Structure formats: C-alpha cells, structure tokens
Amino acid sequence: MAEQMTIHLRIWRQAGPDAPGRLVDYTVAGANEHMSFLELLDVLNEQLVHRGEEPVAFDSDCREGICGSCGVLVGGIAHGPQRRTAVCQLHMRSFKDGDRIVVEPFRARAFPLVKDLVVDRSAFDRIISAGGFISTTTGGAPDANALPVSKDAADEAMDYATCIGCGACVAACPNASASLFTAAKISHLALLPQGSVEASRRVVAMVRQMSEEGFGDCSNHTECEAVCPKGISIACIARMRREYVKAVLC
C-alpha cells in the first residue's frame, strides 16, 4: 500500500502577462509516492475548484515525457531533481512527506508568460520554421536503404532528434540561450544526407531566427545539458558553430 504524503507547495500565480504575480502557498494532503508531479497538481486543482478558487494553470499533453509541454521549475530546477526526466514523469517518490516545493514557470524574455505556470514557447516553432526541415520532391517513399548512412552517423543523428523542445535548456541557462535546442535540430539534419543539400542555408537561417527571438548566447555553462530530459550533449552546439562558420566563410 502506498504511503500517504503531505506536500507543501509554493506556486507562482499570475492572472496574465500584464498582471502582477506572486508565490502562493498550498498544502496537498493525501498524496502518494506513485503519483506524478502533474497528478499532484491535478489533485490540488480539484481541491481549489471544490473551494471555489481559481485552479493553477499549467501545460501538459502526452504525460509520457514525449511532447515537452509540461516544463516548469520544480525546486528551482527545470523539470525537477530527477535527471533525464520530464515533469510529467517525475514521481512523488523523489520527495519526502512534509517537503516544501517551490513551483515556477520557465523564465526567459523569449518565453513570455501566459498565465501561472504557462509560458509561450512559440519562439521554438519559429526557429524550426526558419529551416528545421528538408525540401524534397513529392512521390512515393524511397526504399529505406536508398541513401546509405553509417551506423555512427545515424545513431548520433537520432540522439539529437530526440529533443522534445521543452525549453528546459533555456530555463536553466543563465543567458536564457536556446543554443542546445537549435543546435540539436541543426545537427540531426546535418549528419544525414537528406539534410546536406540545404545545410548552409539552414544553419544561417535558424541561428539568425534564434537571435531575433531574443534568446541569449551560449557561454558554455553546460546547465542546458544537465537538465535536458533527453540527455542531449552540448557537442551539438560545437557542431552548430562549425556548420555556421563553414556556411558564412565557404
């Protein structure tokens, strides 16, 4: 039988982007170690609705660590204390009965706050639109082995392609840099023959869009890698820089 827990939460509440915000204290009794952190917030919201109070707004979708929409700061850490785990997969067994946990939205100029714990991450969509794709003629799907790709390149490309665009890298970076996200999207295409045709145009367009969105630059703190729920390496940032230099100088 799961042990019952009482958790004390201090949650950022803000009615809208132009409204004042503040941290509000709540206590959730009856939690258990098998709950995910988002399920804990669900329980809190049920209690708030029952009391006629405004529930806490937070983002979620798949709740399987795939979509990346659930990102918040838990105890000052993007996605919480468990490494390589999105908030929706963070379980209460990572905490103790009576713990006090501060929950805040990701904070970055390029991620404007919408309400409470919800931020607008559409800047990532615009970076992708700037070049995170390949152009090809339409028709039937080619055979899987039509374009030979080495196993090492395929494995590395897949590692970078696992980025879920959650924004934890931005939230953790003292410069609010989106370099890990942008570099992962650039690198997984740069490693594959399908992406080589547009490689130069892609890296210039995506880096330019990243800058225009107001993200800071990378200064190698490596906080992004530490909080990434998919464990993406900052090696992709070095690759992005090499691709950029090659594109503008060659």
Domains of the chain: 5-104 (3.10.20.30), 121-249 (1.10.1060.10)
> Does position 142 have pLDDT exceeding 80, yes or no?
no
Measure Cα distances from 218 to 120, 165, 174, 223, 224 in Å: 21, 17, 9, 10, 10
pLDDT of residue 187: 96
pLDDT of residue 1: 58
Q: What are phi and psi of 32, to 5 degrees?
A: -140, 165
Measure Cα distances from 5 to 35, 87, 223, 244, 246 in Å: 11, 19, 31, 51, 56
> Does position 2 have pLDDT exceeding 70, yes or no?
no
pLDDT, averaged across the chain: 95
- The full 3-state SS of 182-240, as one line of letters, equals HHHHHHHHHCCHHHHCCHHHHHHHHHHHHHHCCCECCCCCCHHHHHCCCCCCCHHHHHH
Confidence tier at 56 by pLDDT (50, 70, 90):
very high
Which pTM does this prediction carry? Answer: 0.93
> Does position 144 have pLDDT exceeding 90, yes or no?
no
pLDDT of residue 118: 98
> Does position 28 have pLDDT exceeding 90, yes or no?
yes
95-108 pLDDT, tens digit each = 999 999 999 999 99
